[in-house]
Structure 1
Amino acid sequence: MATFHVMAGHDSVVARPAIRRIGLSDVRDALARGFDDFRAKPSHYVFLSLIYPISGVVLVTWSSGANLLPLIFPLIAGFALLGPFFAIGLYEISRRRERGMDTSWRHALDVRHSPALPSILAVGAMLMALFVAWLVFAQILYTSLFGPEPPQSLALFLASIFSSENGLLLMLAGNAIGFCFALIVLATTVIAFPMLLDRDVGAVAAMETSLRATLINPVPIACWGLIVAALLIIGTVPLFVGLAVVMPILGHATWHLYRKIVVDEPQ
């Protein structure tokens, strides 16, 4: 039966697995392996990842029709903060393929049987809290520069953003704040979710391991973060359709990055 372990795993031992130092070649190899996993059965993974483009369109449509135009960009950008959690099923597929097990798409749902599920949900809740905090900061920033009244139309909103000093300040400050949120998520969860799927070590231990991995490998992890950001931008351009391909590749690659960074448990 799954139970929630905060600091330690099921055996009450605080896990601090050894971390390998990796290079940029390892990041490239993890990405290549992620693409290979996707290429093995792409129809399954595209099906699983349709949630991203569909959710993106829904978010934009909802914010446009609810006088929330200032939140369109924060919603799109912030949605990526939740990506590590929603890719859980893809980590599971890569894990099974690595072990020579059946990789049918239905096994992506096997995470619901994981003994670490409560811990996975706890880290997911942290990401949701960061997502909400990002939206609040974005709204406060916009209100402080343009006032509480919502823009009357998309055209007027874009004109005010791109043709005023306040608009430039909004873009600069907004991206700086967003970068801080993205950095927190990258450092604390870059390998936390695949680790919890692989080992029931507890939510805090998984995030602490992810943070140590980032501190030990700052350049490769930063490079990974830039790759993720660039691919997500590319994926969102054609009405989010590209995310149906980009997200599964990144999800699979994240599993392989975890395997390269964290030393295997002793048998």
Structure 2
Amino acid sequence: MIERDHIRNPVEWTLDQLKSAETAVEQTGHALRSHEEPGRGAAPQVRQIEMADLKDVLVKGISDFGACRTDVIFIALIYPLAGLVLARLAFGYDMLPLLFPLASGFALIGPIAAIGLYEMSRRREQGGETSWADAFGVLRAPAFGAILVLGLVLFGIFLLWLTVAYGIYMRTLGPEPPAALGTFLGDVFTTGAGWALIILGCGIGFLFAVLVLTISVVSFPMLLDRPVGLWTAVSTSARAVRANPRVMAAWGLIVAGSLVLGSLPLLLGLIFVMPVLGHATWHLYRKVVPRGGPAG
């Protein structure tokens, strides 16, 4: 009775969350091979959707954002602040050529940053009230181990993208670092080497973006929503992209364009863009992967 009436302080609450995370991590092996267990049934069905569905998921994403605006903004403040820190490091350590790859690469780890928003949308869909604390419910998810592994994969892809981008700079405008921002921009837009940097960077960056979209567009929400393994979630995501190439390409452009706009000025627009895209991604998952049925 005393324990029930006890009001926990933030330290106790944090320790409880860490304990939940530890328990979930112990289940990683189970989560990674759960697709192999007997009795799991057929692979999740994948549905074909239309362009009009993208408008619908964005509307629902805005609705989720509006329903808990203050809470979501509080969470989303973390992301632009992290971006500003990365930008400061780029300027402070003669890493100016990596400033754009850092900003554009943010889309590669966006699904990780939005995982708490998926959980909030899931809980709101079930009819319950949501708050920022509900985002930490991810730590208690049965598939948290698989979510963690997939997150590490995306982070590895992000680091690989930075390495490739820096290699492109070294072979075009390098190896010397730019003397100043104005000089760097002049070299990028007024020289042949600069345009080679732009073309190669955008082309290879596009391939990285397609890879991340393919393996993550519905996999993170599915791991929160269903008792499936990592391979099942990733393969379902790939099937969803394959079944809806035109719509998924449009979704990728919407995400990329929104993140670019949200980066101006000083990444502050991400305070609004990130929550809306995160919530909308949950509803996109609901559109593409129905609640039951055999594989499509």
Q: Give TM-score scaled by structure 1 length.
A: 0.96
**Match in the other structure for 2:92:** 65
1:169 matched to 2:212: no
Partners of 1:121 and 1:78 lie apart in 2 by 19
Does the 8 Å CA contact 2:94/2:177 hold for their aligned counterparts? yes
CA deviation after TM superposition for structure 1 residue 8, in Å: 2.8
Partners of 2:268 and 2:187 lie apart in 1 by 29
Does the 8 Å CA contact 1:8/1:14 hold for their aligned counterparts? no
Q: Which runs of 5+ in 1 are unaligned?
A: none
CA deviation after TM superposition for structure 1 residue 149, in Å: 1.7
1:6 matched to 2:28: no
Q: Deviations over 1:115-138 (max 9, x none)?
A: 100100111011011101101111
CA deviation after TM superposition for structure 1 residue 7, in Å: 4.1
Deviates more, 1:154-163 or 1:201-210: 154-163
CA deviation after TM superposition for structure 1 residue 15, in Å: 6.0
Partners of 1:114 and 1:15 lie apart in 2 by 22
Partners of 1:108 and 1:155 lie apart in 2 by 42
Q: Please point out which of 170, 180, 191 is paired with 1:143.
A: 170
**Match in the other structure for 1:160:** 187
Does the 8 Å CA contact 2:121/2:279 hold for their aligned counterparts? yes
Q: Percent identity?
A: 47
Partners of 1:216 and 1:14 lie apart in 2 by 21
- Aligned residue type for 2:239: R
Q: Please point out which of 106, 111, 114 is paired with 1:84.
A: 111
CA RMSD in angstroms comes to 1.4
Q: Deviations over 1:42-77 (max 9, x none)?
A: 111111101121011111111011010110000110
Q: Which runs of 5+ in 2 are unaligned?
A: 1-22
CA change 1:196–1:51 in 2 (3 A) is: same
**Match in the other structure for 1:222:** 249
1:45 matched to 2:72: yes
Larger Rg: 2
Q: Please point out which of 207, 212, 236 is paired with 1:185.
A: 212
- How many matched pairs? 266
CA change 1:112–1:10 in 2 (3 A) is: farther
**Match in the other structure for 1:194:** 221
Does the 8 Å CA contact 2:173/2:197 hold for their aligned counterparts? no
Q: Give TM-score scaled by structure 2 length.
A: 0.87
